[in-house]
A and B are shown apart, each in its own frame.
Chain A
């Protein structure tokens, strides 16, 4: 409290400030994994869940599932659902096919990003297996049909936030794998 302040006290204050700066920097870099874990845990942003077993109960109530497919401009494949929509009961296991074609004369590797809308249904959309879990190599000139096995958790009907939902859209976006995108860019340059 005097203008001729104690240098040790000043150094301590400055040290605390530096610690705050270091802590906030650390938090900034901790954000990406925390953000990902948060989305996975809560279904935030329509993040779908991974299930190991089909649910024990199936409700009478039905829900319409729509399929949306997008392909990045740098990935030279065609990708579309065999059927645009399907209707199934809550808790019933559904099987949907997607058609993928590679019209080029080289194999391409594709990686998927996916979620559901409305976002609040992310916690209830359970996938038992999906082609989207792993990178996908499509041979030159090939055309294949790929399955996704899923169900909509019957708990959706019990949650007051989601009980009015009658339609869920499952969206996929395919990108070229990073190695190939880098190679293609290098070749273009």
Chain B
């Protein structure tokens, strides 16, 4: 069972109270842990922002935002701007500081080396800087909320997409806030690019003997595809951000029509990054779901190669569909027809994945442990989000639905329920391995059901609101939209209770200390990390594991 039974006394694991262990860390498991803790903190902050948003939208009119301590109470425009800042920062924080650190930095760092039988990442010190750039970046983003943005109003309120002219014009956001945000995203991008280089080098050069590319676990495949997307997409974002920065400060005219520029070109550059980005946010989740469904069905995943290459083709097609985010710019009939067709084609590899998960369960010996509950919830809810995605792919419908709550409902079904559910599924699957302790399954199940009901109550009514024409990014709405907004806000409070239960799970986990053993999931868990002790030794695979051809994935 345990290929690597290093005596704990010879493990050289420093105390968790030793600050040098974390600040100077070159250990992929410690860095992964820091990423996960960072993601939880950022997720709570970004989630609290969405709470203020939902609270504000509980009833028509402006209820609470003029009560924020830094908002001028006598000026209604200050409250409106504060709302726009919250919406902008909620989006950026959840994408760059919650989902990406949790999936790629957290689970990726922890389990890619373990699953391919490597002792650590290829460049451990670069791994350290990848992580420590993130708190710096997050700090800049948070500071940007409190320095002048639009006139004297603090923060940038132009939406997470940072479109010019809102992001460049001195009439709109002339203050330092937007500059801080640009620098913050530059640093977050540098962190992710360094991480991506590290993962690619690790996966291509450090696999254990016998671990061919076609024998790698699907989670490793998903991370490999994701980091390639990062490598190709993030430099384009960096370029667009640099152009914003020089347009703002150094007199270039990339996006200013008065100087011969074109603001629509920013949208092309941004979405050339932005669309692969949404696959970056979900692909590692696909990988985790594959491991979990296989484990709890006690069967190898159905159609392994199809699953791997479905991810590769999703990644490839993800680069040639970007303009479906901007049908309303007026790009002409032929281009719209192309982008509609290309976008719909993504449903094919995605369908392969959904059906292969179902086929993996078919005839399997299924158990409904907590990670499997989250995985099944993910498959169900992600499919709903996928269906509305196919609806929105049509430019004719999208012209009416563009920037309404229908779009908000769509991308929260695939991200807030898709990506976040996979993160929780991965967390419940691997936390016994990472911590060495089992959690309270009742609390985990309760967390799942409360969150499931809460998030559906938040976002399903938003489809109706969108179809009724409620625009996104507005602090107020017509009275006729009050009913479903009220329901949606009720859903938020339920989901917030879910977050509270998650905190209880964490406290219980470390307080009660139930020993997990090397493999708490039984014979279905076949990947290499389950051959190690829980938690794994500080330095693993002193003796190399050898992967035989018949070992399934």
Contacts and interface: CB of A to CB of B under 8 A. Distances in A.
Interface of A: 1-3, 5-6, 9-10, 13-14, 17-18, 20-22, 24-25, 27-29, 31-32, 35-36, 44-45, 72, 111, 113, 117, 119-120, 161, 173, 175-178, 181, 185
A21 B193 contact: yes
Contact of B118 (A3, A17, A113, A181): A3
Contacts of A72: 258
A120 B257 contact: no
A181 to B, nearest CB: 7
B207 A1 contact: yes
A185 B170 contact: yes
Contacts of A9: 205
A18 B197 CA distance: 8
B257 A3 contact: no
B253 to A, nearest CB: 7
Interface in B506-534: none
Contact of B122 (A10, A36, A173): A10
A28 B258 contact: no
Contacts of B201: 10, 13-14, 17
Given A2-B544, A32-B261, A45-B330, A14 B235 contact: no
A76 to B, nearest CB: 15
Given A31-B265, A32-B265, A178-B258, A120 B333 contact: yes
B258 A111 contact: yes
Given A14-B123, A32-B261, A176-B258, A21 B332 contact: no
Chain A interface secondary structure, helix, strand, loop or mixed? helix
Report which residue of A21, A29, A175, A181 has the largest number of chain B beta carbons within 10 angstroms of its beta carbon: A21
Contacts of A18: 197
B206 interface: yes
Contacts of A44: 332
Contacts of A185: 170
B197 A178 contact: no
A18 B118 CA distance: 23
Interface of B: 117-119, 122-123, 170, 193, 196-197, 200-201, 204-209, 211, 231-236, 238-240, 243, 251, 253-254, 257-259, 261-262, 264-265, 268-269, 330-334, 541, 544
Nearest to B208: A3
Contacts of A17: 196-197, 200-201, 231
Nearest to B203: A13
Contact of B257 (A2, A117, A173): A173
For the complex of A and B, 5 pairs with smallest distance between CB atoms: A28-B239, A175-B258, A24-B235, A5-B205, A25-B235
A151 to B, nearest CB: 22
A113 B118 CA distance: 58
B235 to A, nearest CB: 4
Contacts of B117: 3
A14 B125 CA distance: 14
A20 B258 CA distance: 34
A28 B268 contact: no
Contacts of B330: 45, 117, 119
Contact of A6 (B205, B234, B334, B541): B205
A173 B269 CA distance: 24
Contact of B253 (A6, A10, A119, A178): A178
B262 A35 contact: yes
B209 A25 contact: no
Report which residue of B117, B209, B258, B544 has the largest number of chain A beta carbons within 10 angstroms of its beta carbon: B258
